[in-house]
Structure 1
């Protein structure tokens, strides 16, 4: 019964609704007592040859009243109990999804998407069944079983009732024993479903890579192995679940045997009438549902208990990014000062950044370059407040960024990663995602700045063209430029381009950077890139290595230092000349 205790907060909040539902169940049980008794009376009247038209009409009227009464009372409990259960699912679904939106980057590194989806669907449905079917099974087994039992004892014969229900306690023992095993098996079942969900989501998202590498059959085999594992786990759950019905049927059969033997004897001894025996048999049939309900109750509770623990484990996760309720609500502006002495990612002892400092005035551009894993993206993540536990300070406009409210700070930052996520919507909807009320003129302005205007003009539906899931219908360069346009539309105080021009050609890159320089002369820009041509015009360039600053200065100053920057620039310039020469040769051929 622990799941009912865990959901006590909801039952207390909705006690009026559940009380109304329980009243409906009680009325349903009371009305259900009438038909068996009426049938028994009619049988006795027929047996004694005393059935008249008046008595028949009277008894048929009672049956009609009982039928309409059950109709109304069933409507009462169904709307109340199932409605409350649906409201609980809605409450938990909103709470869980809202919690997903509040959690930080480290949470999503520890949990896979398929697992989170499984808990937001399968597990919530199992909890909803507790608040609906579980309450029904618990209350109705007591109310219907109790009222029927009382009717059997008072209206028929108490000794016959005691003998007939004698096998019923066996059900409680069976349900308790099987319930414990089902709880363990169902936890394994939910975990297997999460793994299968992960596999399906990963395969669908990576279908291009799978097909390009010719790994379709291997992936199918892997998926089928996951399916087989899930089926095997669920078979154990089903085997345990299937034991309820046969054992319940056996208990009912024993009860009927006792009724036939003892009831027939009592009829022969004229202790009860044959009509009483017919009524008793009908009442005994009505006891089948409460018996089944008890068995189903343990099953429902164990499943719900396992699912509730899985969901609450997520809800109890705490974000390491703290949004101060009394934080600064002013939009940040001015000089950006970054001074980090040391930072490492959660659960990782390796130092990701050390002794990195720079000051960037409004209207200036900072370039950040370096080898893969040098720390470029880490700087961006700290600026985006994805991680807040570091040694040092980051100030924007003389205010520590940790002192800003997230609602004030983040809208002032436009971030464009290398692989910007696009929604399965139109080009316009993706651009206006952070500013839905943007005018067409504003949209066209940022599209022109991002160098995408000519591309969109050739789309069949223009701005209404659907980009597909994650922008599958667009090229890599088009996706990057659309993401840049989306960031520019909010007119951010700080624009961060994290290798966001890697998929465009050099000419387009130069045009975009020129547009940004002209339009954002009073706003701050940070460009992290592998292609050094992206940062040549920056006011300062940082060369990172192993999480620290190896070189710094303008393009000309770094070229004069003859370090990593100079060597990489010369190599990339040579590669560009070689590629241009090949294109010229192809054109001449």
Structure 2
């Protein structure tokens, strides 16, 4: 079984636990074997007593033995379930931890080709299937095989080998049918997993965008799209169920045929006085005990094929190479940035997103990046943080290429506020202190004041302990942005990056935040991306990007005197501001 080979590392780590569980299973199998034998002895003794007209026959020892066997079987079954299933749940926990660690190490290139819904499906549904194989799969395989072997030994050696051979005649047909069914289950379950991933992705999109769906009146359209995907998933699962349903009829037909052969040939052996009635009764009960191994083998093939299909999907992700190589160990000692002839294109794109960019950001200075939408501003920031990989020596920090620093050490140099102000479903204070969990309440309030969100927070019923809801849904866009700015300020990283992080606040609040940053963080380098030029007029240097190219470069006073995008946009925004004032 390929799946068990792939999980051999786990079985080796927990071999003691599995050994104890398997010994308990062996004990159950041995005790179960004694039941038909004791019943057969009791029947023969009763028949013998009847034929010899014995006055009394005491079968109480047999009944007592059967009672003790029942207690022993119950205790052992409870023990192996507790041990075996508990260990398999540990496998699921390990796989999910590794899965999450791999996700954390991947860069933007990975997430651009893998959907959230598919990743969630692999971390939940697929891991559950592997976990089931490591628990019930081991149970079914070992217990079924052991019971099958022991029963055959009893039937061959103790009762009658000729009757056993006759009873086993339908079993090769059953083995062939199991092989065909298991291949069908594997194929259909693989399709079902893919459909579940698409359904998961659609569900995630629907829940994330429910407000937009309602605002645009698309409830009916989105419901139809969801129903279509749901029907495809249901159809795939139905085909899996159809394939699985073939196991039971095959088992019942083959075992019924085996019972027919047994009763026919066994009756003839009794007629020839080569077999007793008690032996035939015991043999029939042992044949009945073969029902469990057959069901076990069918269930084993079923869950192993499910687990194999799921393992391929999980293992594919676990073996996906990091999109960003992180083997360096150096830590920057300074935050001075130098960019020389930076050119970058996204994968599978023939157009350069950035083309021949060059600039410097000395420590403690403010760099502004402006330009029309789609000019490559955010891409530049992602390259500086090495979320995408640039060519060697195009970007230097403290005189060394970014690839010479570990990712953690490099990204610790940045306090980043992205365009999408993401908040976790925890309190406001916990969101602000996300990068500095040990921060005091005074430190949290200090950065909240710089970000002009302190008074807003105090107006909430629970102030800083207010729960923000999923993705900060209970807050306005401007409040979310300012909390994210406060969170970035608390990290005290050498470089502060505001990626259009003031777009949802009014001009007055924007100017307050800029003034606070200049007054309290003048030793910190800043990179500010903004469509509102009033937010960057204080910058030491401004880059004007158009279609990935550097069109203009200079400070505010220099750029407004030039005939270019900056001066035209500045004039337009000033006129717009005057109109709003009037």
| Shorter-normalised TM range | over 0.9
Instruction: Give the aligned partner of residue 96 of structure 1.
Output: 99
Cα drift, residue 42 of structure 1: 1.1
Q: Which runs of 5+ in 1 are unaligned?
A: 582-589
In the alignment, what sits opposite 1:479? 480
Residue pair 2:342, 2:395 contacting (<8 A) in 1 also? no
CA contact (8 A) 1:501 1:509 kept: yes
Per mean C-alpha deviation after superposition, the further-off stretch among 264-273 and 308-317 is 264-273
C-alpha displacement of 1:485:
0.5
Q: Is the 8 A contact 1:412 1:492 kept in 2?
A: yes
Aligned counterpart, 2:283:
280
Residue aligning to 1:533: 534
2:453 is the alignment partner of 1:452: yes
Alpha-carbon contact 2:330-2:406 (below 8 Å) kept: yes
Partner Cα separation in structure 2 for residue 513 and residue 34 of structure 1: 85
Secondary structure of the corresponding residue to residue 324 of structure 1 = coil
- Tell me, in whole angstroms, the C-alpha distance in 2 between the residues paired with 1:100 and 1:359: 33
- Secondary structure, in 3 states, of the residue corresponding to 1:415? strand
Taking the aligned partners of 2:2 and 2:335, their CA distance within structure 1 comes to 56
Contact kept, 8 Å, 1:343 with 1:353, in 2: the verdict is yes
- C-alpha contact 2:202 2:226 (8 A) present in aligned 1: yes
Instruction: Give the equivalent residue in structure 1 for 2:190.
Output: 187
Distance 1:457 1:244 in 2: 65
**How many angstroms apart in 1 are the aligned matches of 2:393 and 2:55?**
98
Distance in 2 between residues matched to 1:515 and 1:494, nearest whole Å: 16
Q: Which residue of 1 aligns with 2:159?
A: 156
Alignment of 1:365-404 (within 5 A): 365-390=366-391, 392-404=393-405
The answer to whether 1:56 aligns with 2:68 is no
Tell me the CA shift for residue 391 of structure 1: 5.4
Q: Pairwise mapping of residues 453-532 of structure 1 onto structure 2 (< 5 A)?
A: 453-532=454-533
Distance 1:341 1:467 in 2: 40
Q: 322, 329, 332: which is aligned to 2:331?
A: 329
CA apart distance, 1:405:
2.0
Residue in 2 aligned with 1:341?
342
- 1:106 is matched with which residue? 109
Comparing 26-35 with 392-401, greater Cα deviation is found at 392-401
Alpha-carbon separation, structure 1, partners of 2:362 and 2:55: 104
- Superposed CA deviations along residues 165-224 of structure 1, whole A, max 9, x for unmatched, are 211221110111111111111110000000000000001000111111010111111111
Secondary structure of 2:561's counterpart equals helix
Contact 1:418 1:500 in 2 (8 A): yes
Residue 302 (structure 2) pairs with residue 299 (structure 1): yes
Pair 1:318-2:314 in alignment: no
In structure 1, distance between residues paired with 2:26 and 2:393:
66
Is the CA contact (8 Å cut-off) linking 1:127 and 1:308 kept in structure 2?
yes
**Could you say what the CA RMSD is over the residues aligned between the two structures, in angstroms?**
1.7
**Structure 1 residue 55 displacement after superposition:** 4.3
More deviation in 222-231 or 258-267?
258-267
Deviation at 1:49, TM superposition (A): 2.2
Cα deviation digits, residues 6-51 of structure 1 (max 9, x gap): 2223233333333333222222211111111111111122222278
Deviation digits for residues 437-481 of structure 1, max 9, x if unmatched?
A: 110000000000001011111111111111111111111100100
123, 128, 145: which one aligns with 2:126: 123
Structure 1 residue 80, shift from structure 2 partner: 3.8
Of 312-321 and 73-82, the range deviating more from structure 2: 73-82
- Correspondence for 1:551: 552
* TM-score, normalised via structure 2 length: 0.96
Shift of 1:376: 0.6
Matching of residues 10-159 of structure 1 within 5 Å = 10-49=10-49, 55-159=58-162
Aligned residue in 2 for 1:308: 311
Aligned mate of 1:210, from 213, 223, 246: 213
Q: Deviations over 1:138-161 (max 9, x none)?
A: 212210011011112222222112
Residues in 1 aligned to 2:22 and 2:467: alpha-carbon distance in whole angstroms = 51
Q: Normalising by structure 1, report the TM-score.
A: 0.95
Residues 392-444 of structure 1, C-alpha deviations (whole Å, 9 max, x = no match): 43222233332222232212210101212111111111111111111000000
Superposed displacement of residue 258, structure 1: 1.5
Task: Answer whether contact 1:341 1:392 (CA < 8 A) is retained.
Answer: no
Distance 1:335 1:105 in 2: 24
What is the CA distance between 1:75 and its match in structure 2? 4.0
User: Which 4+ stretches in 1 moved above 6 angstroms?
Assistant: 50-54
